[in-house]
Chain A
């Protein structure tokens, strides 16, 4: 009763019109579905990824050990050279003796590795190897068995809302150029609209030479008509040919021709043109997202020191017993930034952005009551080799009597460019690995440089390089909220590729930090 009261032809019309409406989902849906249905099969990729991360860490540790051994050798050589120096030196200030025979060994975990594993940086290549572009198999879609004559309103739409094959009205679905041209041309065939010949628009238009003078003037390259009864499997190919024809015509039209052909026509092509432009923008937006992140981390450094040409005694007014040990400690670092991410494949995302980093580590030193003079080993600018340059300093390297924390810090702005690769996940929870390379501008900093005899620190910021390159490796999980926003969390390692100091200073310091990155990703 109720249905009869409300139901008229309108419902029937709607039902018939939309019954065969089809859209082709992206492969992402099936992959997510597959992962949900077969969770056990996620484990191989999970295991491989864990193995990869373990291998990277292992290589890093191995490399560090080798580096420490190298450092000890280098410092031992320096110690032998240091035998020239007095074993016990009195200073005019008189109340402190410097003992240069102290061990040159670097203390504890805070050793001074000379090099850093390149594997840590180069490991991102192995992710790249796994990446495979996921292309929509258009041919598969084209070969679907859909009788052209049996579906008066069948519409099949691909991921970008393009019509793959369909009814007479598919003529309007050719995107951008072909749609543009079609709408201009289709006015000429307004008088044949009653003829519902299920041909592809472009082919139909081109195959009616008498329908328009505009058409006749067009340099038609190909004249192709699709026979709707010619069979299912060839239908798509013919459609493809028709589209090609339309595109060829489009390409051969000058703007002037198009304008002339349309200026007298009252067609809503402007609307369509605007629509397609809007959709193109939509596609770009659909693949893009904006990421905001912050990464608290622990920062540290590796340092490689060249043997000093000559190790001299410092002339110190008042200094405690110093040593060659370097007592350095990690400190809190911070990173914050924003990045634009663009999905270029099923699992691959490229990203670029702007980021600010505060890096820091501390050295335990002893603040002298009176400034002292020491030397820094600097490379000669005009010739090979190095020489010692005198500097005044108020900080001695005296871990045993440490009373001052010397904070080595920099403020950096970088442009991280990189990729994220999805390792596993479903539509809500995803696991990624990522890597970036970061051209970096160091805007300010504070550097305490170890003197040539390793007994003092000189606060000299002029040697800080303004430009550098950093790299980062990260792995993280994202969780999709109901409003489509993603929360991100995961560990990150950042490593500085070149020395903090300019080439003039003989020591090479490379900063690194490890932290937890928290982010928020939202669609544009």
Chain B
């Protein structure tokens, strides 16, 4: 009931302590190099019956993800949200997941790139119907503190995925147009919860990628 209290405290602390971090932050987050955006990709042979792709229109990287996802042939296409998952879940995903059948059925997949807390919310609600996050990539995870060389990148992509996907994810995430590459890759996730998943950090090199100020996560829920 009191999530607002936590964030209230955080916001108040940032301001009242004369937070230099807040005071000096640029008004706009780094701009994603839109010139590098490809056209919507066609779907390679995939394994997921894809119901919907979700993206957060507030963030250029997520918008790039969403634009690329439109061509994937998801049953209900790509849907943009503004951070609030209430309507998406209440009017749509709740009905999809409720219709999933028996406890052990595997319904159609939902994939996307939204904020970490948005996914936390969807994940908890999906669990009510025994759905799970099959794959997640946290963009902008901060690497564990050191000692680290001065040139060590501050951000990374933290990937939790089946081992068979790690290498292709690593390659895709190293590319300049990684947000646009991800949707097709997510759509090709193997649906097999029996396979162990592994977590890896793929550092981001300065200058190559514009990392979001927000902590975003790409995911697949099945």
Do A and B originate from a single complex?
no
Binding site for A on B (CB under 8 A): none
Binding site for B on A (CB under 8 A): none
